[in-house]
Amino acid sequence: MVDTKLAGRTVLVTGASGGIGAAIARAFSAEGARVAVHHFTGTPAPPGVTWEHAAIAAGTAGELAAELGDAVAVHGDLREPDADRRLFDQVERHLGPVDVLVNNAAHCESPDTFEALTADGLRRHYEVNAIAPALLIAELARRRQPGATPCVVNISTDAARAFPGQIGYGTSKAALEALTRAAALDLAAAGVRVNAVAPGPVQTGWMDAAMVGHVRSIVPLRRAGEPADIADAVVFLASHQARWITGQVIQVAGGHAL
């Protein structure tokens, strides 16, 4: 049995109302960590749209608290000024200082081609996928407790390497990978580790049977990813076993896009 030494540590997972984020939250909770399940809040919602993130995140947090231990739902629009400070305030109020930050929240639009490219679309991608993680990492570093060794895991994508048709999304995630390396170097002296996981095609409900079949044909390990595949890699990078790993981007994609 491997002791990850995550029991009792406080973990903040952004964008954790469902899919990969919820799987990451559950994986940390299973290790005995206290987990803050962040969800998006938009005010107001666009016409005809109902935000469901809050209810889903509250349900996820409630399940974790009932089944495994301490968990709380926290909220915020990461594009807003001071979102980083207000989010950390919420977590500290309920669970204490953040030991592990997982920047999972992401913005992705379609179409995302050069033909559809707009300044506003690019701005939305970069605000959530690159700028918000940078500000959250800075807030983590500012609030580091004496003697503490917090860590960060950023969630990128194999589209950051090259993915035609995902210009804003792919390039903003490439910026996140560059941020991972820069932050790892700048914060190493403070004992803060920063790494990233780059998922390949993961089935979170968006793939129909035909798409799953296509993914199987192009992924060397012959299957689509599952949220737990990503969650396990994230937990490893935050664990005691990864204590001398920083500045790395680990592709978890079954060999896709090598």
Active-site residue set: 169
Residue reference for tokens 């903040």: 12
Strands 193-199, 151-155: pairing is parallel
Counting Cβ atoms within 10 Å, is residue 232 exposed (0-12), middle (13-18) or buried (19+)? Answer: middle
Residues 6+ apart with CB under 8 A from 232: 27
SS3 37: strand
d(CA 255, CA 110): 25
H or E stretch covering 229? helix 227-238
d(CA 173, CA 43): 25
| Biggest distance spanned by C-alpha atoms of the chain | 53
In this structure, the dihedral spanned by the alpha carbons of residues 118, 124, 126 and 127, taken in order and rounded to 10 degrees, is 150
CB atoms within 10 A of CB 79: 15
